[in-house]
A and B are shown apart, each in its own frame.
Chain A
Amino acid sequence: MKLLQYFRLWLACARYSITRTMMFRFDFLMWGLVELFWMGVNVALVSVIYEHTESIAGWNKYEMLLLVGSSMIVQRLLMGFFWSNLFELGRNIRSGHFDFFLAQPGNLMFMVSTRKVELEGILNVFVALAIVIYAAGKLHLQPDAATIAIYALMILCGLVIHYSLIVLAVSITFWIIKSEGLEGSYFTLTEFSRLPREAYRGLFKGAASFVFVYALPVVVVSNVPARVLIQNGINLTHALWLLAATVLWFALAVVVFHRGLRRYSSASS
């Protein structure tokens, strides 16, 4: 029952956001194009490199495109549903506007994260999806319903992990009021998730694998779902690994956020 209530709450916020977006149509168009173009840049990189080589770390062109597409789906979902909310959270903590959320009846993390929905991000999810479908078609993949369901679940795990990483980064604002370079650090991290896991092997005496594959969940987020689709089957170890990482990072984000909350002392205006 409670879940339904939250869903209704979210729906109301979403409806409001979309109405607002439609008031500024030109802006909507421009920002939609911005995201589209940045995806185009990544696709261009893949197509140009594969003009000169057949395989990167054992991945052929369309497998790579599928990987890049999967990582883009996660990123666009994050942009559509959470990004601007979390980005503003940092600013609100600094300015004291955060009080407004504290006064709302409801789970604080939910209220803070779901106030706005960015329509252009959500629409671009379909573009990213189209890239994945195109790549899958070129690879002659015929995933069954179970594979697609697992792929969707893994993408969702990826979204939770990205969400948690950003909540963690924003929560730093509770301790040090000035937190710069948040955007930069997120986009730098997502760059790592567009690379195949095998490419990290043995680099910098294994440090690259250790940091980006095992310590930070940036590589597993995109590689595990892409592999599920390519092999039309699930590697149980990888799936459990991703699930564990999801639970772990989300729990960490919840804990750190609430720890930080205790330090919040509002701001005089």
Chain B
Amino acid sequence: MFPALTKYRHAFLVGLQSNLVYRWNFAIRAFFSLFHLIVVFILWNAAFSGKTEIGGFNLAQTMTYFITLLVLQFFISAFSEDYQISEEIRNGLINQFLLKPINYYLYRFSIFIAARIVSGGLALLPVLIALPLLSGLLDYPTDAWRIAYAIPALLMSALIQFTIAYCFGLLTFWFLEIQSFIILSLAIETLLAGQVFPLDLLPKQLFEISQYLPYYYQMYFPASIITGRADDQTEILRNLGIQFFWVVALLIIAQVLWKRGLRRHTAVGG
């Protein structure tokens, strides 16, 4: 058990170092996110004019939702993991893992955790700088019980995000170019994970349906617990169950893709 952990601890530490190299990429990304936030603010500020609430929330609560998403993104989203995995398959780097007692999923996941620690830390900087400007817009609920639900929800969200990216990366076994798949699914994820608008603003039926899809659990679910958009504890508990189902389902899909993909893999180069 413990020697196994040491293995991945090393992968984690190497991941930490190699991601620090890309600190400027993350910083630039965080910078553009602030501009995106300005767009969001201008739009919703105009939508709220003459209104005190939309969907039961005021402007500050709505902005709190978007700011939370933005920060969470740097802590739990998969950024370029799919491309990295695709690259490793294409140029034969994965061949070495086939010969060693290392599980490729766990190896990539250790690097993913390291990457998110780096990007999350870096994203906090611009947020802290902008905090005096944002503080008027932040309005969080203060219930203690939310933390107990938010933590497992966040952890499972990170797992779902990573595993989806991992599966897309594995598609390289079948297709040479996966960029179009990734951007296509990104459009769906952006919409159904609640990045464009809070999902609870959807018509009731569509909102209900969205709760059964994995996208809901990528981002919206933990954010809704933290920002108070999810209020009913029995419903949250049920959704934690659905989220757990998706984690397991995606892990199985990843495993199947890996097994099947390796059969097609011809190990060129390396």
Chain A contact residues, CB within 8 Å of chain B: 27, 30-31, 33-34, 37-38, 40-41, 44-45, 48-49, 51-53, 56-57, 180-181, 184-185, 188, 191-192, 195-196, 198-200, 203, 208
B131 to chain A, nearest CB (A): 16
SS of A interface (majority): helix
A44-B196, A199-B45 known, 10 other contacts, Cβ within 8 Å: A30-B184, A34-B187, A37-B184, A49-B201, A53-B48, A180-B25, A181-B29, A184-B28, A184-B32, A198-B46
Q: Which of B29, B42, B55, B180 meets A208, CB within 8 Å? A: B42
B39 contacts A by Cβ under 8 Å:
yes
Q: Which of B29, B45, B202 meets A48, CB within 8 Å? A: B202
B36 contacts A by Cβ under 8 Å:
yes
SS of B interface (majority): helix
Tell me which residues across on chain A come within 8 A of B49, comparing CB atoms: 57
Chain B contact residues, CB within 8 Å of chain A: 24-25, 28-29, 32, 35-36, 38-39, 41-43, 45-49, 51, 54-55, 177, 180-181, 183-184, 187-188, 190-191, 196-197, 201-203
Give the nearest-CB partner of A178 in chain B.
Answer: B24
- Check B197–A49 contact: CB distance below 8 A: yes
Tell me which residues across on chain B come within 8 A of A203, comparing CB atoms: 41-42, 45
Q: Which of B43, B46, B196, B201 meets A52, CB within 8 Å? A: B201
CA distance A229 to B248 in the complex (A): 52
Tell me which residues across on chain A come within 8 A of B46, comparing CB atoms: 56-57, 195-196, 198-199
Q: Which of A31, A45, A192, A198 meets B197, CB within 8 Å? A: A45
- Check A34–B54 contact: CB distance below 8 A: no
B21 to chain A, nearest CB (A): 13
The answer to whether A44 and B24 touch (CB under 8 A), given A30-B184, A51-B201, A57-B46, is no
- Check A188–B184 contact: CB distance below 8 A: no
